[in-house]
């Protein structure tokens, strides 16, 4: 995975049609058709990334520059492992092929994740009482970056989905404040909605720089957005 300044993919019109199979819901057919014609999906397959989400982290890091060689990264909601792939490459946690290992990537998900050279994957529920402690134990010290792309399965009820993802982002921010080095970075996925400004304000109490960012790889028709907090305040105001 070479790091490149060039645009990752060209936008191309949706062309491939999916026949509506008997028994498949119309929504599944639409999803499949969108996947097959999504240039990010095609590019991810071509370059061996585990999903189109990987491009989102590349684009976030290209803007905010936190995945530095040697950094210690926590990746919450890591399955299937696209963000961890990007993180492992950029922090140089992959010691294979004669490379010196400098960084660390620890990923957690409720789902199984295929092993990845340069990352340690844990299976567990971050929202459970013991979730954060399990990650902290694996980390064994401070982190430079806490990432959360955690998202519950969509219910289709936008307020419910919004509130659930905000709760996950809040938990990730709370964890980040505990484990980050003073100039650390937290990145959390949210869905825009009524409670997002309150989370932004909570983050402002702990971080000096807060930004909202929607990477190009995030679908334009989705309410998805990332909040990036950088540099911890010395003490809460």
Ligand X SMILES: C[S@@+](CC[C@H](N)C(=O)[O-])C[C@H]1O[C@@H](n2cnc3c(N)ncnc32)[C@H](O)[C@@H]1O
- For residue 151, state whether it binds ligand X (rule: CB under 6 A): yes
Q: Which two tokens stand for residue 21?
A: 């199979």
- For residue 36, state whether it binds ligand X (rule: CB under 6 A): no
Q: Which is nearer to ligand X, 132 or 184 (CB)?
A: 132
Q: Which of 9, 108, 199, 227 binds ligand X (CB under 6 A)?
A: 108
Q: Which is nearer to ligand X, 144 or 218 (CB)?
A: 218
My answer on whether omega of the bond before 196 falls inside 30° of 0, hence cis, is: no
Strands 72-76 and 104-109: parallel
Q: Least distance to ligand X from the beta carbon of 143, Å?
A: 16
Q: Which two tokens stand for residue 234?
A: 């010395």
Angle among Cα 97, 102, 103 to the nearest 5 degrees reads: 110
Q: Least distance to ligand X from the beta carbon of 168, Å?
A: 6
- Count residues near ligand X (CB under 6 A): 22
Q: Least distance to ligand X from the beta carbon of 155, Å?
A: 13
Under a CB-based contact definition with an 8 Å cutoff, are residues 123 and 110 in contact? yes
H/E stretch holding 200 reads helix 196-206
Q: Which of 44, 71, 73, 150 binds ligand X (CB under 6 A)?
A: 150
Q: Least distance to ligand X from the beta carbon of 32, Å?
A: 18
Query: Of 71-79, 97-105, 199-207, 214-222, which segment contacts ligand X by CB under 6 A?
Result: 71-79
Please confirm, yes or no, whether 189 is among the known catalytic residues: yes
Q: How many CB atoms lie within 10 A of CB 125?
A: 12
Query: Of 26-34, 62-70, 106-114, 212-220, which segment contacts ligand X by CB under 6 A?
Result: 106-114
CA 66, 72, 73, 79: dihedral to nearest 10 degrees?
140
Helices (runs of H) and strands (runs of E) counted in the chain: 7, 7
The residues binding ligand X (CB under 6 A) are 50-51, 53-54, 77-83, 108-111, 125-127, 149-152
């Amino acid at each position: 995975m070479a790091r490149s300044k060039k645009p990752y993919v060209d936008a191309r019109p949706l062309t491939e049609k999916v026949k509506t199979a008997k028994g498949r819901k119309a929504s599944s057919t639409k999803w499949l058709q969108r996947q097959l014609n999504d240039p990010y999906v095609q590019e991810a397959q071509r370059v061996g990334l585990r999903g189109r989400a990987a491009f989102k982290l590349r684009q976030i890091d290209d803007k905010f520059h936190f995945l530095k060689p040697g950094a210690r990264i926590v990746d919450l909601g890591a399955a299937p492992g696209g963000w961890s792939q990007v993180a492992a490459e950029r922090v140089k946690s992959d010691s294979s092929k004669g490379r010196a290992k400098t960084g660390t990537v620890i990923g957690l998900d409720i789902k199984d994740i295929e092993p990845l050279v340069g990352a340690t994957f844990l299976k567990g529920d971050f929202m459970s009482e013991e979730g954060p402690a399990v990650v902290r134990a694996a980390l064994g010290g401070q982190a430079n970056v806490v990432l959360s792309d955690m998202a519950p399965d969509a219910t289709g009820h936008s307020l419910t989905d919004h509130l659930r993802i905000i709760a996950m982002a809040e938990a990730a921010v709370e964890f980040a404040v505990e484990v980050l080095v003073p100039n650390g970075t937290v990145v959390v996925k949210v869905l825009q909605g009524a409670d997002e400004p309150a989370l932004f304000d909570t983050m402002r109490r702990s971080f000096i720089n807060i930004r909202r960012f929607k990477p190009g790889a995030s679908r334009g028709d989705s309410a998805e957005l990332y909040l990036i907090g950088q540099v911890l305040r010395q003490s809460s105001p």
